[in-house]
Amino acid sequence: MTSSVSHPVTRRRLVLGTAAALGLAGLGRVARAQVPGKMVLGTWGGDYSKLLTKNVETPHLTPKKLAVEHAIAGDPERRAKLLAEARLPHGTSDLQALSAANMYEMKEAGVLETIDYGKIPNAKSLLPPMRYAYGVGHIYSGKVIPYNPKLIREVPTGFADTFDPQHGNRLGIIDIQYQYTMMASALASGGSMSNFEPGKERLLAVKNAGARIYPTKEALAQALQTEEIALCIMWKARAVQWPNAGINVQTVPAKEGVPLYVSGFAIPKNAPTKEGAYAYLNASSSRRPRSSWWSASRCRSSSSSASASTGSCPASSWWTR
């Protein structure tokens, strides 16, 4: 026997049913619109953070209602945090700004996502060497020797001349570029870009002679401007930028070679908002922010379509030495 139960439509049932239908429809809309409202970028502070905000986030992500929070710290601290959070289901950052060397180190530690370039339409304009499996190259520059011609009579020809105890406290060294400081000293001392040990004695000698250590590029620039120091090693990008800011420096490439620095972005495996990370990678890979970045920082863009004035660009032969 089939039992039939009648449920008359009352005002109460009609209201409840309509509300339920509207609620389910609302849930459907939320599910289809999984565009994150916020993401966290681990990055350096100073000019780098400001340029990211000006050239990438404000023009390209703010209109899409994606707010970007900068978790500012040095790369050693941020890499340590990535490793500490590796076992958590969700970390505290969605994207990390790291050098190519540090991206590789974190890839080897197993904490980085493999990049899906199909989610980055603008990646088609990237130079091939900037398309890492574990990160996306953003900017690059070469390590050169800026010096004050008023204070340095004999122009240095290489890293060996620069890391010379005779300069005493007129030599400036930037702390956050420790890897490249060791690399340059190694090249000056018979080592290589992968064998730093021969350069250790040279660095200890300049330290004991009074070389000054600065925490940031901005602090180093101020020391050059006030003539507290007379020479240093730095990215060619800054060496072009500083004279435009009134700092009396000239630049020479080291005879030992010009190490290349690449800065890029990598996604932690446990990033809470990977959609936001890919939106950021796509925005930073587009032509306009890369051209604007060159104009402001003089770092070469990783995009093949970002144009720059030939007169301002570092000599192309420097990158292949």
CATH code where residue 128 lies: 3.40.190.10
**Amino acid letter for position 121:** P
DSSP 8-state assignment for residue 54: I
Tokens found for residue 95: 């994207």
pLDDT at residue 46, as a whole number: 85
pLDDT means per 10 residues in the chain (321 residues)? 48 48 40 65 92 94 96 95 97 97 97 98 93 95 96 96 98 93 96 95 98 94 97 93 94 95 96 97 80 46 43 28 27
**Which of 106, 136, 43, 158 has the alpha carbon at shortest distance from 269?**
106
* pLDDT for residue 319: 29
pTM over 0.85: no
* Residues in contact with 11: Cβ distance below 8 Å, sequence separation at least 6, in sequence order: none
Q: What pLDDT score does 301 carry? A: 44
Angle at which helix 178-188 crosses helix 200-208, to 10 degrees, equals 110
| Residue that is last in its domain, among 215, 230, 260 | 260
Same structural domain for residues 245 and 277? Answer: no
pLDDT the model gives residue 309: 36
Dist. CA 105–CA 79, nearest whole Å: 9
Residues 126 and 100 in one domain: yes
Question: 73 and 49, same structural domain?
Answer: yes
Query: Does residue 33 lie in a domain region?
Result: no
How far apart CA 221 and CA 46 sit, in angstroms, is 12
Give dist(CA 91, CA 111) in Å, integer. 10
Is residue 239 within 8 A of residue 251, CB to CB? The reply is: yes
Q: What was the pLDDT predicted at 122?
A: 94
Residues 270, 240: one domain?
no
Contact 314, 240 (CB under 8 A): yes
Residue with tokens 């001349």: 161
Do 255 and 145 share a structural domain?
yes
Q: What pLDDT was estimated at residue 10?
A: 55
Q: What is the pLDDT of residue 295?
A: 47
Going by their DSSP bridges, the two strands 234-235 and 260-266 should be labelled as: unpaired
CB atoms within 10 A of CB 305: 16
The number of domains in the chain is 2
Same domain flag for 145 and 97? no
Same structural domain, 217 and 78: no
pLDDT score, position 273: 96
Predicted pLDDT at 47: 84
- Residues 256, 269, single domain; the answer is no
Domain that holds residue 286: 38-140+262-320
